[in-house]
């Protein structure tokens, strides 16, 4: 298993979590986690409608099936995003209000939580990789020097991805706090 590829995926997953945190601007990725009860099945919103941003403060949702407007509206209202959808019978518009200072701080804490989860995932990958090479050394496939070199490589790779994750976090925090 390629450690670098696994760590890259972990950082990308954290990045996707960051994208679901709203900033002062309208962004369709805010609705990525919204699931709609559609004909008895939980369906992602983006599978049921076209999402667009006609301006920086509005998200527009154009359902493929006009009959699904009310269930989509209900799903958005019930989500933990704190957004109020406006339904005109054919499409739904969501106005993104400017964030308050308290809400910005809450969102920064949420971003930090996502970053910490990402770091834990990276550390778990590091632990698994070290366990794997220790087993190789025990089985006689690696010498002690090779084991030490491999452990250093694994640690450097982990450190590099943690620094990258922290950079993504600081970028997201700056985006959230920008008025």
CA–CA distances in Å: residue 75 to residues 38, 64, 126: 10, 16, 39
- Residue 1's pLDDT band, with cuts at 50, 70 and 90, is low
Q: Rounded CA gap, 15 and 121, in Å?
A: 13
Question: For position 24, what pLDDT does the model report?
Answer: 72
Domains of the chain (ranges, CATH numbers): 3-17+100-177 (1.10.132.20), 25-95 (3.30.1360.40)
What pLDDT, in 10s, does the model give residues 65-78?
A: 888 888 998 888 88
DSSP code, position 48: T
pLDDT in the model for residue 97: 79
Q: Report if pTM > 0.95.
A: no
**What are the pLDDT digits (tens) for 124-144?**
999 999 999 999 989 988 888
φ/ψ of 25, rounded to 5, equals -105, 150
């Amino acid at each position: 298993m390629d450690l670098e590829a696994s760590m890259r995926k972990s950082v990308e997953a954290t990045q996707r979590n960051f994208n679901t945190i709203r900033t002062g601007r309208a962004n369709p990725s805010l609705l990525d986690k919204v699931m709609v009860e559609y004909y008895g099945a939980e369906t992602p919103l983006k599978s049921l409608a076209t999402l667009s941003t006609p301006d920086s403060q509005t998200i527009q949702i154009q359902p493929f099936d006009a009959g699904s407007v009310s269930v989509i509206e209900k799903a958005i209202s019930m989500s933990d995003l704190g957004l109020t959808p406006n339904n005109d019978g054919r499409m739904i518009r969501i106005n993104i209000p400017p964030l308050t200072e308290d809400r910005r701080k809450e969102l920064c804490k949420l971003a930090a939580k996502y970053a910490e989860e990402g770091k834990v995932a990276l550390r778990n990958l590091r632990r698994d990789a070290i366990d794997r090479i220790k087993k190789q050394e025990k089985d006689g496939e690696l010498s002690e020097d090779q084991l030490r070199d491999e452990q250093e490589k694994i640690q450097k790779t982990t450190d590099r991805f943690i620094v990258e994750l922290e950079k993504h976090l600081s970028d997201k925090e700056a985006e959230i706090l920008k008025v």
